[in-house]
C-alpha cells in the first residue's frame, strides 16, 4: 500500500498532560513513522503510514487521549515529503511559533502516584513531591511556554540518572513529565521555627503533624501559596488562629483525608463527592451535620462548611501521619485578607506573627493561585472562586473578536484575557484595595500574558472611576472602554452559555455605579448586544455613610425604618437597635433627613443587610456578604436537608405582599418598574411584634423576593416578548433564592441561565467586560 505523510496539529491543553508520550506509544503500536513535538500552540505530529493506518491513528488520537488533556481543535493536512524514518520519535519543542498553547492547570496527585507514595518498596516511597504526567504542579510553576522543564521553576533541579532514564523512556509513566523528581534530585521539605530558623530537614512531616496535634499554628507551603493550618477539632487552636490572623468570624476551609471523613462532618451527595475528588480539588461548600464535632469557631453562624481533600503529596503525607488531627483548618496565608504568600522569605516576614512553625520547600512558586471554591446548587456545580485547578484553562465563548483585556471589578477581582473565542479568566486576585493586591494584579496580568502570548489590543474596565482596575486600564497605552458593572455581570452569563440576541437579566449584588451615577445593585435589565436598558429595579433607599453602610448592617436597618416611618423611626429603633448608642442612631437619621453622605441605592445586598439587622441577627459585618449569608442561614434552618430533590418548593403566598410601581423616564426613555420594599418592611416589623421567629421571617423575606422578581419578569416578558432570563450578581450565591427563583421561573416556561463555571459574583465581571460583543470592534474601527 502507498505511504502517505500527514501533519496533525492539535490545540488545547495538550502540554504537560502526557500527550506526546501517548502519541508516541500509539504510533509505535500502530507502526506509524514520524515524530511528535510541542509547539507554541499545542502539539504537532508528522506521521507516515498507509492511508488506512493514518486514518485510524488520527481517530485514536482524539478518542484515546489522556483524560487530563483538553483538545480544542485538530487540523490535519497532507504533506508532500516523507519524514525519512520508519521509527517514531519525540522531537525537541519547536521554537519561534506564536505562543498560544494552553497550559494545564495544576493537577491533584493521581492514584498511581499515591500508590507509590505509600509503597515501601518504591524509590519514591514517602517522597513529598512525587508527580507524573497525569498529576502535579503545572500553571503554578510555569514561567513561559512551551511547557518544558527549562521554562518552569523545576529548572533548578537537574535530574538524577534514574529520573533522567524514566523521563526518556517512552514506556514509563514519567516519560517527559516536566516536574519529575525524586528524593535524590528534586525539591525537599524543611522545618522552621516561627522566626524562620531552620530546625530540621528530616522527618518534617511528623514534626508538623505533632505540632498540629499539639494545637500549634503551622504555615505550610503548598502548590500555589502558603496555608495556615491548625487542628480543626480544637476550639482553642482555631481561636488562636483567629486571634493571630485578626479574623473574627469569616469561615475557614478545612481539609480531610477522604470522602468518608468529609461525610462524618457534612452531608455529601454523590455529585458533591465527585466534585470533592475531582482533579481540580476545589473547596466544596457542604451542609454541616448536626452533632458534627468540628470546632464551632471554624465557620461560626453559618450552616455550611468548606471542605477540600488533599491535592499534593505533602497534604496526603501530613493527613495520614498518626499524630496529625483528622481534619485541618487550611486557610490562605494572606495577612490582612491580602495576597497569598508564595516565597519562603516573604512568608517568614508576613506570616511570622501568626505561625508557630513553617513547613516549607524549595520549589519556587511562579504563579500564586489560591484554592478554588465551588458548590452544588440548582442541579449544577457552581464555581464561586475559580482559581487553583481551573486556571488557566479557558472558558469557551462563541465570539471571534480579537485580543481584549477585561480588567475586572474592585472586590474579588479577576481579570480576563480574551482571544479567538476563548476567555482566559485569571486566578483569584482578591480585593484590590487590600495589602499588596494591586502589585499582584499587575504581576498576574504580566505572567498570564506571557504564558499565553497574548498582547491585548483593547482594555475594558468598570464605569467606576476609582476602582484600581479602572485606573490601571486607563493608564495603558491601548484604547480603553468602560462597561457598566451589572451589564458586565449579565454578559458573563451570556458569554458562558453562548446566548445571542435579547435577554432579560436579574442582577442582584452589593453595589455598582450606574450610567445615571446612582448606586445600582437590584437590577432588571435588558441586554441586546452592546445595548443596555434598565427595565426596573429595587426601590431606592439611602445608604447612610456610603461604604460604612456596607460594613454596618444596622445602618441599613435604620434606612429601612426611615423609609417607612421617616424621622419617627428613632422610637422604633430603640426596640430594634437598642445596643447601638442613641447618639449614633440620631446622627444617621439626621444624615438621611438632610441627605448628607447618604447616596441612594437599589442594592439588593444592602437590603439583605438591613433585614438581617432588623431581625437582631447582626449589626456589624466583618466581611462582604456576612449578614446576607446569615439571613439565608436562618431561612434554611426551616428547609429540608440538602440532597432531597424537593429541597426548596417555594411556597407562594406565604411571603410579604408584592408591590410594584411604574416610574417614567430613566436613561432608556421607557418606564421602569420599581419593586417596592415598604410593605415588606412593614410586614417584617409586624411579624416581629407578633413574636414570630427570625427563621420564619427570614424565609418570608426570601419568598417575597422570589415572588416580586417572578412578577416583574412575567410583566417584562409580555412587554418585550423575551423569554430568556439571565441571573447574575453575588446575591445569587444564596441557594434559597437561586433554587427558588429558578424552579418557579421554569414552571412558568422561562429559559433560565446563570453562572456555572464562571462565578456569579464580582469574579465573573472581567469575563463580561471582555465579552460584550461589538465593543472591541467599535473601538478598533474608530
Q: Which does 185 bind (CB under 5 to 8 A by kind): Zn ion, Fe ion, none?
A: Zn ion
Q: Which of 371/762 has CB closer to Fe ion?
A: 762
**Of 310 and 557, CB closest to Zn ion:** 310
Looking at 118, 165, 184, 692, which residue binds Zn ion (CB under 5 A)?
184
CA triple 395-401-406, angle to 5 deg: 60
Q: Which does 762 bind (CB under 5 to 8 A by kind): Fe ion, Zn ion, none?
A: Fe ion
Q: Which of the choices Zn ion, Fe ion, none does residue 23 contact, using the CB cut-off of 5 to 8 A by kind?
A: none
Q: Is 104 in the site for Zn ion (CB under 5 A)?
A: no
Residue the block writes with cell 430613566: 666
Shortest separation between residue 112's beta carbon and Fe ion, angstroms: 43
**Between 694-720 and 735-747, two packed helices, what is the crossing angle to 10 degrees?**
40
Q: Note whether 177 binds Zn ion by CB under 5 A.
A: no
Angle between helices 694-720 and 604-614 (to 10 degrees): 160
Greatest CA separation found in the chain?
96
Residue among 509, 707, 739, 756 that touches Fe ion (CB under 5 A): 509
The phi, psi pair for 18, rounded to 5°, reads: 75, 25
Q: Is 111 exposed, middle or buried, given 0-12, 13-18 or 19+ CB atoms closer than 10 A?
A: exposed
Cβ contact 493:714 at 8 Å: no
Is residue 132 a contact point for Zn ion (CB under 5 A)?
yes
Q: Which of 102, 110, 360, 758 is in the footprint of Zn ion by CB under 5 A?
A: 110
Residue nearest to Fe ion (CB): 509
Q: Is 165 in the site for Zn ion (CB under 5 A)?
A: no
Which is closer to Fe ion, CB of 132 or CB of 490? 490
> If contact means CB under 5 to 8 A according to the sort of partner, which of Fe ion, Zn ion, none does residue 384 touch?
none
Minimal distance in Å, beta carbon 124 to Zn ion? Answer: 9
Provide the minimum distance between the beta carbon of 410 and Fe ion in the complex, in angstroms, as a whole number: 9
Question: In the complex with Fe ion, which residue's Cβ is closer, 687 or 762?
Answer: 762
Check: CB of residue 359 under 8 Å from CB of residue 208: yes
Which does residue 132 bind out of Zn ion, Fe ion, none, counting CB within 5 to 8 angstroms by kind? Zn ion
CA neighbor of 383 nearest in space, from 769, 767, 772, 773? 767
Binding segment for Zn ion among 110-118, 436-444, 662-670, 743-751 (CB under 5 A)? Answer: 110-118
Q: Does 272 bind Fe ion (CB under 5 A)?
A: no
Binding residues with Fe ion: total (CB under 5 A): 2
Grid coordinates given for 308: 477540600
**CA nearest neighbour of 241 among 315, 343, 332:** 332
- Residues numbered 111 to 130 that lie near Zn ion (CB under 5 A) are 113
Distance (Å, whole) CA 727 – CA 729: 7
Task: Give which of Fe ion, Zn ion, none residue 509 binds (C-beta under 5 to 8 Å, depending on kind).
Answer: Fe ion
Alpha-carbon distance values, 108 to 59, 226, 276, 313 (Å)? 29, 17, 11, 9
**Given strand 458-462, what is the order of strands in its sheet?**
395-396, 422-425, 416-419, 404-406, 458-462, 480-483
Residues 690-719 that bind Zn ion (CB under 5 A): none
Interface with Fe ion by CB under 5 A: which range of 102-110, 302-310, 501-509, 591-599?
Answer: 501-509
- Residue with Cβ nearer Zn ion (134 or 484): 134
- Among residues 117 and 535, whose Cβ is nearest to Zn ion? 117
Span interacting with Zn ion, options 175-183, 398-406, 575-583, 697-705, rule CB under 5 A: 175-183
Question: Which of Zn ion, Fe ion, none has residue 160 at its interface (CB below 5 to 8 Å by kind)?
Answer: Zn ion
Per CB under 5 A, 523 contacts Fe ion: no
Residues 6+ apart with CB under 8 A from 553: 609, 610, 612, 613, 618, 619, 620, 621, 627
Please tell me whether residue 230 binds Zn ion under the rule CB under 5 A: no
17 binds Zn ion (CB under 5 A): no
Q: How big is the chain, counted in residues?
A: 782
Nearer to Zn ion, 263 or 279 (CB): 279
Distance of CA 500 to the CA centre of its chain: 25
DSSP, res 526: E
For residue 152, give the 3-state DSSP assignment.
Answer: strand
Task: Match 495577612 to its residue by C-alpha cell.
Answer: 335
Using alpha carbons, select from 737, 715, 617 the residue that is nearest to residue 249: 617
Among 2-10, 163-171, 589-597, 712-720, which window interacts with Zn ion (CB under 5 A)?
A: 163-171
By the rule CB under 5 A, 431 interacts with Fe ion? no
In angstroms, give the least distance from the CB of 279 to Zn ion: 10
Q: Does 762 bind Fe ion (CB under 5 A)?
A: yes
163 binds, among Fe ion, Zn ion, none (CB under 5 to 8 A by kind): Zn ion
* Cis geometry, peptide bond prior to residue 146 (ω within 30 degrees of 0): yes
If one asks whether residue 745 binds Zn ion (CB under 5 A), the answer comes out as no
- DSSP, residue by residue, 170-233: TTSTTTT-TT---TTTS--EEEEETT--EEESSSHHHHHHHHHHTT--EEEE-SSSEEEEEETT
- Residue 110 touches which of Zn ion, Fe ion, none (CB < 5 to 8 A by kind)? Zn ion
Using CB under 5 A, list all residues that contact Fe ion. 509, 762
Using CB under 5 A, list all residues that contact Zn ion. 110, 113, 132, 134-135, 160, 163, 182, 184-185
Amino acid at each position: 500500500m502507498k505511504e502517505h505523510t500527514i501533519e496533525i496539529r492539535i490545540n488545547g491543553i495538550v502540554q504537560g498532560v502526557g500527550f506526546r508520550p501517548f502519541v508516541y506509544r500509539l504510533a509505535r503500536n500502530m507502526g506509524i513513522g514520524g515524530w511528535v513535538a510541542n509547539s507554541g500552540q499545542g502539539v504537532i505530529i508528522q506521521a507516515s503510514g498507509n492511508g488506512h493506518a493514518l486514518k485510524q491513528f488520527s481517530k485514536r488520537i482524539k478518542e484515546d487521549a489522556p483524560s487530563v488533556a483538553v483538545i480544542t481543535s485538530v487540523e490535519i493536512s497532507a504533506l508532500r515529503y516523507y519524514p525519512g524514518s520508519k521509527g517514531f520519535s519525540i522531537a525537541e519543542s519547536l521554537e519561534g511559533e506564536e505562543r498560544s498553547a494552553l497550559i494545564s492547570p495544576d493537577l491533584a496527585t493521581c492514584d498511581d502516584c499515591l500508590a507509590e507514595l505509600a509503597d515501601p518498596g518504591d524509590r519514591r516511597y514517602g517522597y513529598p513531591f512525587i508527580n507524573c504526567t497525569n498529576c502535579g504542579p503545572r500553571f503554578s510553576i510555569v514561567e513561559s511556554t512551551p511547557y518544558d522543564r527549562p521554562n518552569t521553576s523545576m529548572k533548578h533541579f537537574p535530574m538524577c540518572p534514574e529520573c533522567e532514564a524514566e523521563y526518556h523512556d517512552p514506556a514509563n509513566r514519567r516519560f517527559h513529565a516536566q516536574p519529575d523528581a525524586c528524593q535524590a534530585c528534586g525539591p525537599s521539605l524543611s522545618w522552621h521555627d516561627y522566626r524562620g530558623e531552620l530546625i530540621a530537614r528530616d522527618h518534617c512531616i511528623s514534626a508538623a503533624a505533632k505540632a498540629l496535634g499539639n494545637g500549634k499554628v503551622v504555615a505550610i507551603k503548598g502548590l500555589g501559596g502558603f496555608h495556615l493550618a491548625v487542628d480543626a477539632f480544637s476550639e482553642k487552636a482555631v481561636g488562636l488562629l483567629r486571634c493571630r490572623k485578626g479574623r473574627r468570624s469569616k469561615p475557614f476551609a478545612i481539609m480531610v483525608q477522604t470522602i468518608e471523613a468529609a461525610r462524618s462532618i457534612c452531608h455529601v451527595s454523590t455529585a458533591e463527592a465527585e466534585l470533592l475528588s475531582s482533579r481540580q480539588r476545589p473547596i466544596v461548600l457542604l451542609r454541616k451535620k448536626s452533632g458534627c464535632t468540628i470546632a464551632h469557631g471554624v465557620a461560626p453562624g453559618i450552616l455550611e462548611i468548606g471542605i477540600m481533600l488533599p491535592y499534593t503529596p505533602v497534604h496526603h503525607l501530613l493527613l495520614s501521619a498518626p499524630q496529625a488531627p483528622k481534619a485541618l483548618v487550611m486557610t490562605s496565608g494572606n495577612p490582612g485578607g491580602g495576597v497569598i504568600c508564595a516565597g519562603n522569605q516573604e512568608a517568614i516576614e508576613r506570616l511570622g506573627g501568626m505561625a508557630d512553625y513553617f513547613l516549607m520547600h524549595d520549589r519556587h512558586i511562579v504563579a500564586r493561585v489560591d484554592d478554588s471554591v465551588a458548590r452544588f446548587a440548582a442541579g449544577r456545580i457552581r464555581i464561586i472562586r475559580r482559581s487553583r485547578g481551573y486556571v488557566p484553562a479557558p472558558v469557551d465563548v462563541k465570539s471571534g473578536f480579537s485580543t481584549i483585556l477585561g480588567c475586572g471589578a474592585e472586590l474579588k477581582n479577576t481579570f480576563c484575557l480574551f482571544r479567538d473565542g476563548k476567555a482566559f479568566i485569571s486566578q483569584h486576585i482578591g480585593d484590590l484595595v487590600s495589602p499588596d493586591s494591586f502589585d499582584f494584579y499587575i504581576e498576574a496580568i504580566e505572567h498570564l500574558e506571557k504564558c499565553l502570548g497574548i498582547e491585548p489590543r483593547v482594555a475594558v474596565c468598570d464605569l467606576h472611576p476609582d476602582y484600581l482596575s479602572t485606573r490601571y486600564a486607563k493608564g495603558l497605552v491601548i484604547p480603553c472602554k468602560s462597561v457598566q458593572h451589572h451589564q458586565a455581570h449579565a454578559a458573563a452569563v451570556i458569554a458562558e452559555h453562548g446566548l445571542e440576541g435579547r435577554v432579560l437579566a436579574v442582577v442582584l449584588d452589593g453595589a455598582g455605579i450606574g450610567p445615571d451615577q446612582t448606586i445600582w445593585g437590584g437590577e432588571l435589565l435588558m441586554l441586546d448586544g452592546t445595548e443596555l436598558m434598565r427595565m426596573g429595579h429595587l426601590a431606592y433607599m439611602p445608604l447612610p455613610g456610603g461604604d460604612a453602610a456596607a460594613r454596618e448592617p444596622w445602618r441599613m436597618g435604620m434606612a429601612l425604618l426611615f423609609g417607612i416611618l421617616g424621622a419617627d423611626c428613632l422610637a422604633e429603633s430603640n426596640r430594634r437597635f437598642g445596643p447601638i448608642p442613641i447618639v449614633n442612631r440620631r446622627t444617621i437619621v439626621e444624615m438621611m433627613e438632610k441627605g448628607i453622605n447618604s447616596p441612594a441605592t437599589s442594592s439588593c445586598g444592602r437590603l439583605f443587610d438591613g433585614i438581617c439587622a432588623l431581625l437582631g441577627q447582626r449589626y456589624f459585618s466583618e466581611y462582604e456578604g456576612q449578614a446576607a449569608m446569615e439571613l439565608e442561614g436562618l431561612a434554611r434552618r426551616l428547609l429540608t436537608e440538602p440532597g432531597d430533590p424537593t429541597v426548596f418548593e417555594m411556597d407562594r403566598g406565604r411571603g410579604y405582599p408584592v408591590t410594584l410601581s411604574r416610574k417614567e423616564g430613566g436613561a432608556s426613555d421607557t418606564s421602569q418598574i420599581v419593586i417596592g420594599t415598604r410593605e415588606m418592611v412593614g410586614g417584617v416589623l409586624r411579624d416581629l411584634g407578633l413574636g414570630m421567629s427570625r427563621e420564619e421571617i427570614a424565609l418570608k423575606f426570601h419568598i417575597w423576593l422570589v415572588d416580586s422578581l417572578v412578577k416583574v419578569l412575567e410583566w417584562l416578558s409580555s412587554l418585550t416578548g423575551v423569554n430568556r432570563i439571565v441571573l447574575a450578581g453575588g446575591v445569587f450565591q444564596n441557594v434559597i433564592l437561586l433554587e427558588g427563583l429558578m424552579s418557579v421561573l421554569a414552571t412558568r416556561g422561562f429559559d433560565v441561565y446563570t453562572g456555572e463555571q464562571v462565578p456569579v459574583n464580582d469574579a465573573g465581571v472581567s469575563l463580561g467586560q471582555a465579552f460584550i460583543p461589538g465593543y472591541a470592534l467599535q473601538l478598533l474601527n474608530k
